[in-house]
Structure 1
């Protein structure tokens, strides 16, 4: 665990120190688009924050190569290197989009290319296990594996992109999600499914560290945004960690639904810890499609975080509420596999009650005061985003 803490610290410090330089470059290069109608900030803010996150991740991985126990993750598998290379590609794609605002189709093609590179470099779904079914383990042929992994990767990349709308929102969600994945991957190794020093655990801990280092620059009031270079990088790393975790379990050791929990959790966990961004993306696609609009090129101001602002929350409170919901879902996803289910349910219910009370507190206060619903403009302008 000490080696992981060292790697996390290095990634965090490097990101924290390099982000001001990245911001300086972004301002000089003009990677700070004009404010759009759907934006919450009121003045242009530089992007390219994903570059700082990527530099921190690279530093963390570099240090990991020199640590005795983590060295084995590079000898046993090429997954860490594959994610770093594909992550560099998608970060570069995001940099171009942050500066030149690429066409949606061009960006989608680039995302598919980066996801394809990830698969070709060795990160892919090799099988699907259906416990309690006569089908058992379904081995995927190379073409099906390539297609399915690519689709899942592109979906996760865009889900993270959709949620990036308030200062510090995606960065904090990424920290919570990455730490959840790390805890599960580490626990899986402790149970004998692989090793505690594994690629998924390393990838998620360096991502968490890098995002922790970036958060002070990104939390309200933000001085720099993640941009597409950061949101797409985060999505790719998280989905790669989930896929890698799945590939490390041995289907021959499971015979019933009860004993298959460690195998199916890597498939269920992404749905739990990525539920907020995935839900936001699905609602946006449905909403825009029903209006006859292109779901990926017609942005609006109806995302979940925008709705929290409309209720009457400040930016910081809206972000914290989203953090709490992400933490609740992550806790359920991880806790159901490593803790007593009864304890998980009790704690989750308490957290949900707290989250719901916080979410609707402005409306409750208005009813008590007898006032009409009103959204202060300051809620939208707070912190310049």
Structure 2
């Protein structure tokens, strides 16, 4: 999921704002248009994994992704500065993985074919990289590419796994993409990635009113999978600018919750590929936390992680990076600890 570094958008802040605003309006408008159709043909019925109690239409991701690609595409096609590149493969892979998600929403695809199709989208981006930028230069390129495909596949799926609560994906994606857009304005992020991040941020803001608790519509896999692909690509562009610490800090809650949950299920010999309610944010609602409280805490946490990420870029040093990672890890661990215990257990010390 690599791409060339390119010019920044520091001198074209208005274009970043316009991309975000246009995507927000387009996303909200498209959701209104397709909502009646989804209500008839794409209802998500409650199951053992669900956090909702009544059948709710899914598929708002169609509008979010369409708005994101349209807004970013128009801005990129116009060209910001000489040397700007249009990430055509990214756009194609995003449409492809959205189609896979849509098919899975309509009729579930078996695990192995689903992963292989997702790997095609991730691999297309990795293997068509036009640059020699490397994250791990001391290992062969083919090994790094293989690791990037696996990491990208995991990131795409963890975003999908974490999209199990009203507003959860909104409170994750908006702070991350807003921080990336700001870094682009500061000259620390490539132009193409900045516009993609800004457009995705705007599209998610347009989706937010429809997904606030209690949600009237869900993203569906047609939204969560391509959002994971776009977000993972943007974070990798940040890492390729020698900002690996920031790229780790921004999605740290999602990474920690999904990875720890997966490892716990594997250690317990549970069928980890089957839908479940073991994520920390899901356990929180089972432990007496209101949905709004869960998403509010995750939002505040992500804002804090975004601040730490920006600090790591503006004041770079190995010692500062270590402190920032420790602070970010401690904040994430604290929130996950709270979510894993029943309301009131913090004061009594009673375990769940």
TM over 0.5: yes
Displacement after TM superposition at 1:201 (Å) = 0.9
SS at match of 2:180: helix
Residue 98 of structure 1: aligned partner: 105
- Contact conserved, 2:166 with 2:214, CA < 8 A, in 1? yes
Q: Which moved more, 1:12-21 or 1:174-183?
A: 174-183
8 Å CA contact 2:19, 2:198 repeated in 1: yes
Residue number in structure 1 paired with 2:283:
307
Residues 242 and 124 (structure 1), Cα distance of their counterparts in 2 relative to 1, 3 Å cut: farther
Equivalent in the alignment of 2:32: 20
Structure 2 contact 166–212 (Cα < 8 Å) conserved: yes
| C-alpha spacing 1:127/1:373, structure 2 compared with 1 (3 Å) | closer
Shift of 1:122: 3.0
Does residue 265 of structure 2 align to residue 288 of structure 1? yes
Between Structure 1 and Structure 2, whose CA radius of gyration is higher? 1
What is the deviation of 1:146? 3.1
1:138 aligned counterpart, secondary structure = coil
Q: Is the 8 A contact 2:27 2:64 kept in 1?
A: yes
Q: Higher relative contact order at CA 8 Å, sep ≥6: structure 1 or structure 2? A: 2
- Which sections of structure 2, spanning at least 5 residues, go unmatched? 1-12
Cα deviations by residue, 1:25-57 (Å, 9 ceiling, x for unpaired): 3233x3223210221211111111211111111
- 1:237 has 2:230 as partner: yes
Report the alpha carbon displacement of residue 205 of structure 1 after superposing the two structures with TM: 0.8
Q: Can you list the C-alpha shifts for 1:63-88, whole angstroms capped at 9, x where unaligned?
A: 31465x6264xx53242x22211111
Q: Distance in 1 between matches of 2:131 and 2:38?
A: 34
TM-score (norm 1): 0.76
Contact 2:245 2:312 survives alignment (8 Å): no
Q: Distance in 1 between matches of 2:76 and 2:49?
A: 43
Q: Does 1:34 align with 2:42?
A: no
- Which whole-Å CA distance do the structure 2 matches of 1:123 and 1:39 have between them? 42
Q: What is the RMSD computed on CA atoms of the aligned residues? A: 3.1
Task: Work out the CA distance in 2 between the residues paired with 1:82 and 1:34.
Answer: 35
Q: Tell whether the 8 Å contact from 1:50 to 1:230 is kept in structure 2 after alignment.
A: yes
Indicate which of 254, 269, 272 corresponds to 2:246.
269
Which residue number in structure 1 is paired with residue 3 of structure 2? none
What CA distance in whole angstroms lies between the structure 1 residues aligned with 2:264 and 2:305?
Answer: 24
Residue 53 (1) aligns with residue 64 (2)? yes
CA distance in 2 between counterparts of 1:60 and 1:293 reads 42
Kept after mapping to 2: 8 A contact 1:38/1:301? yes
User: Are the aligned partners of 1:187 and 1:338 in contact in 2 as well (CA < 8 Å)?
Assistant: no
Q: Are positions 1:111 and 2:113 aligned together?
A: no
Distance 2:195 2:74 in 1: 11
Secondary structure of the equivalent of 2:186? helix
Q: What are the Cα deviations for residues 219-238 of structure 1, in whole angstroms up to 9, with x where unaligned?
A: 11111111111111111111
> Which deviates the most, 330-339 or 200-209?
330-339
Structure 1 residue aligned with 2:255: 278
Q: How many residues align?
A: 330
What do residues 252-290 of structure 1 show as CA deviations (whole Å, max 9, x unaligned)?
xxxxxxxxxxx2x2x222321111121122122222222
Equivalent residue in structure 2 for 1:331, among 292, 307, 317:
307
Counterparts of 2:98 and 2:121 in 1: how far apart (Å)?
10
